[in-house]
Structure 1
Amino acid sequence: MAERIPTPTEIKRWRQYLADERAEAAVYRDLASRREGEERAILLALAQAEGRHEQHWLKLLGPHAEPPLRASTRNRFLAAMARRFGSVFVLALAQRSESRSPYATDADATDAMAADESIHEEVIRGLATRGRIRLSGSFRAAVFGANDGLVSNLSLVVGMAATGVSSQVVLFSGIAGLLAGALSMGAGEFVSMRSQRELLDASQPTQITLTAAPSLDLANNELVLVYRARGMSLEAAEHRAAERLGQFTCDCDPSLSLQPENFEKADEHESLGTAWGAAASSFCFFASGAIIPILPFLFGMTGINALLLACALVGATLMGTGAVVGLLSGASPLGRGLRQLAIGLGAAAATYLLGLVFGTVVG
């Protein structure tokens, strides 16, 4: 059978695949160098898998593999981020990169390679989950605070401007909105998260069963009800109660014996974030968002030019925050950015129209 001679188009595509596989392997090795234990081993295993893919393209290319081609812009950016940060942000980018693998539709890639890329996405998703959980509390408050500041203060500024008041009144209204909103956001986030933490703490089991057990009526063993309320089966609850009372007369499976009741509290940094951290994030990010719509007025601009510049600045910031959320969630940065932009400017446009109506009625 004659050896297959690749076409120039195939050679170009294979060389790009080869460069990208090498770049992805380097990213995983860089990430592994910043981790220990199981995570390090997983990342190194991913790098080895990319190395197997690299060998596939080298075999197909033969002498056409040289000189080496540069990786795609996306993979070069990912490699640069991995070398400098090695954080959940990079893992989110790597997850998105794996999800866009072309191997599933490329006849020159093996089925095993396509399957590898799909599995790699899930592996990276799992590794990124821990970092996302740690970020979820304060990051949620920060994103919510920044976008609320941007949208609410822009709406306030354009609404006031539409009524025909002076630029000075618009400026002072924006400053008042910034301070009131930031203080409200910070206080509200603190109370919300502290209340949620208190609710969770109230649900944690206590050790009262240990002190009350000796005085319980043995004929009506209500200790069983305690364990059933905690989710145990009747059989497991009876066995645990017998252990606590020093009796082992129940006909139970010995494997039901449980360890002492050490109920560990959830790590508040990983589940909710701290109330103070969330409050501070809400205050600062609301203020940082709310100041953007009034920047043109702070620098002396007036009229429609100030409003247009304020809308442009807010629009660019909304696109940026939406893109960051998209990257961290493994979704399209452009799609998330456009969604944020549409929501923010839509709210401002509605307020502007209401301001026009109000100004006309009052005038």
Structure 2
Amino acid sequence: MRHTEKHRTERIGWLRAAVLGANDGIVSTASLVLGVAAAGADSKAVLVAGVAGLVAGAMSMAAGEYVSVSSQSDTERADLARERRELAVAPEQEHAELAEIYVKRGLDRELASTVATQLMEHDALGAHARDELGISEVSTARPIQAAFASAGTFSIGAALPLLVVLLLPASALMWAVPGSSLLFLALLGSLAAKTGGAPVLMAASRVTFWGGLAMALTAGVGALFGVAI
């Protein structure tokens, strides 16, 4: 019988990076635009600041994701290498460790030993990676994928407030940028929640609250000091 059930945990890796990138793109760029606009800059200066923020932010997101996820990948490889050595040197001990894991999950000791034997005969390293180390195909670190997803979605998110700057005069930016950005954030939170199977209202409320707070604080700083941030 073919297994057709779909699990949303398969989307965790790219969904986390995509949501983080888009959210940061909207919030940071809209906040930057508001801070500059609140300081009394004209539309051209606001646009230049926003574009610079887009480029710098996208590169920062890509580098940050690549470095952080690469660190996770290095740790996973080191753990797998150690496990491979242990399987070669002490297979009986590794079998006992795996069987004990299954006993703790509810199997009786005899069945747990049988399951451990069969899984290790099929793929010993894979069984220990999954059940002892918690490393699976779903959770495996993918630095390149995370970097491109974050940079790409940051750019898309950052482009939204910049589009508002292009379409509207400087006098309208103080209400148009935060209003449209909060709408974008609500849509992003709803889409991410729906994709991941989470409550939509809670996710949308969460991203709009923190995004609104960030924009309000940045606009306040720009108005207070009267200089481009």
Q: TM-score range by the shorter chain?
A: 0.7 to 0.9
> 2:36·2:222 contact (CA, 8 Å) conserved in 1?
yes
**2:163 is aligned with what amino acid?**
L
Higher relative contact order (CA 8 A, sep 6+): 2
**2:214 is aligned with what amino acid?**
A
The alpha-carbon deviation at position 340 of structure 1 amounts to: 1.6
Worse-superposed segment, 160-169 or 180-189? 160-169
> 2:34·2:173 contact (CA, 8 Å) conserved in 1?
no
Instruction: Find the counterpart in structure 2 of residue 168 from structure 1.
Output: 44
The alpha-carbon deviation at position 289 of structure 1 amounts to: 0.4
Does residue 285 (structure 1) correspond to residue 157 (structure 2)? The answer is no
Instruction: Find the counterpart in structure 1 of residue 25 from structure 2.
Output: 149
Worse-superposed segment, 147-156 or 162-171? 162-171
> Which structure 2 residues correspond to residues 160-199 of structure 1 after superposition, within 5 A?
160-199=36-75
Does residue 270 (structure 1) correspond to residue 138 (structure 2)? The answer is yes
Deviations 1:201-227 (A, max 9, x none): 2112114664xx6xxxxxxxxx59964
> Which structure 2 residues correspond to residues 214-229 of structure 1 after superposition, within 5 A?
223=90, 227=94
Instruction: Measure the CA separation in 2 of the matches of 1:209 and 1:297.
Output: 60
Instruction: Measure the CA separation in 2 of the matches of 1:185 and 1:345.
Output: 21
| Residue of 78, 84, 104 corresponding to 1:206 | 84
Higher normalized helix content (fraction of residues): 2
Instruction: Measure the CA separation in 2 of the matches of 1:158 and 1:198.
Output: 40
Instruction: Measure the CA separation in 1 of the matches of 2:87 and 2:177.
Output: 62
- The normalised TM-score by structure 2 is 0.76
Does residue 295 (structure 1) correspond to residue 173 (structure 2)? The answer is no
> 1:138·1:274 contact (CA, 8 Å) conserved in 2?
no
Instruction: Measure the CA separation in 1 of the matches of 2:64 and 2:198.
Output: 29
Instruction: Find the counterpart in structure 1 of residue 208 from structure 2.
Output: 341
Higher Cα radius of gyration: 1
DSSP-derived class of the 2:124 partner: coil
**1:276 is aligned with what amino acid?**
I
> 2:30·2:178 contact (CA, 8 Å) conserved in 1?
yes
**1:193 is aligned with what amino acid?**
V
Instruction: Measure the CA separation in 1 of the matches of 2:193 and 2:45.
Output: 37
Structure 2 unpaired stretches of 5+: 101-109
- What's the RMSD between the two structures over aligned residues? 3.0
> 1:143·1:321 contact (CA, 8 Å) conserved in 2?
yes
> Which structure 2 residues correspond to residues 51-200 of structure 1 after superposition, within 5 A?
127-128=5-6, 130=7, 132-200=8-76
DSSP-derived class of the 1:164 partner: coil
- The normalised TM-score by structure 1 is 0.50
Instruction: Find the counterpart in structure 2 of residue 24 from structure 1.
Output: none
Instruction: Measure the CA separation in 2 of the matches of 1:352 and 1:329.
Output: 33
DSSP-derived class of the 2:40 partner: coil
- Judging changes above 3 Å, is the alpha-carbon distance between structure 1 residues 319 and 153 closer, same or farther for their aligned structure 2 residues? same
Instruction: Measure the CA separation in 1 of the matches of 2:30 and 2:188.
Output: 16
Structure 1 unpaired stretches of 5+: 1-35, 40-126, 214-222, 234-252
- Judging changes above 3 Å, is the alpha-carbon distance between structure 1 residues 166 and 150 closer, same or farther for their aligned structure 2 residues? same
> 1:268·1:274 contact (CA, 8 Å) conserved in 2?
no
Instruction: Measure the CA separation in 2 of the matches of 1:161 and 1:229.
Output: 66
**2:75 is aligned with what amino acid?**
L
